[in-house]
Amino acid sequence: MAVREILLYPDPLLKQKCDLVTDFGAPLAELVRDLRETLAASPGVGIAAPQIGVLQRVVLIDVTGKFPERRQLVLVNPRITTLEEYKIIREGCLSIPEFTANVRRADKVVFEALDEHGQPYAHRTDGLEAIAIQHETDHLDGVLFLDRVACLKTDVFRRKTKPSARAQS
Ligand code: NI
């Protein structure tokens, strides 16, 4: 287990499309452990494998700091099947720590994924968790929140304070 370095924009690995996971052996288990350790050491609610330089379709979501009744989610090869109730929210990213931006996201999502053991599951969620899932799934396709901003001049903001746990992923 290890806390891994989080790649920062404009690292070219953050702009790559990631590969589907086909092997659910020890390397995947190690990747998930590293994502857990790295996210736990970060002010974030989600992390995607490419953010630690691994171009595989694996995401970890953890909003339990804010919503203790929820649980950590591991999404392997995720596919969002429903997006509902779009709104504009303020979003951040562990790989772009100095900025936040207004981004249009669905408040409610349904996704299908495999867990870390390769078992398929589906999950419906909303709010911060739904936003984090959209943000992290974007990372798997090399899409960053800056790519989702309607107007770079008016919708991107330099942080005045250190990043907090608020909607960062
Ligand atoms: Ni991010």
> From residue 42, how far is each of 22, 35, 62, 123 by CA, in Å?
28, 10, 11, 25
Predicted local distance difference test score (pLDDT) of residue 161 = 76
pLDDT at 157 over 90: yes
pLDDT, tens digit, for every residue of 101-132?
Answer: 999 999 999 999 999 999 999 999 999 999 99
Q: Take residue 70 and report the two structure tokens written for it.
A: 């929820």
From the CB of residue 1, how many other CB atoms can be counted at a distance below 10 Å?
A: 9
Name the β-bridge partners of 58.
76
168 falls in which pLDDT band (50, 70, 90)? low
Predicted local distance difference test score (pLDDT) of residue 131 = 98
**How many angstroms separate the alpha carbon of residue 113 from the centre of ligand 1?**
19
116 is catalytic: no
Domains in the chain, CATH or no CATH each: 12-158 (3.90.45.10)
**How many angstroms separate the alpha carbon of residue 99 from the centre of ligand 1?**
11
Name the β-bridge partners of 139.
none
169 falls in which pLDDT band (50, 70, 90)? low
DSSP secondary structure string, 90-136?
EEB-TTSTTEEEEEEEEEEEEEEEE-TTS-EEEEEEEHHHHHHHHHH
The single residue of 91, 116, 129, 136 carrying the catalytic annotation is 136
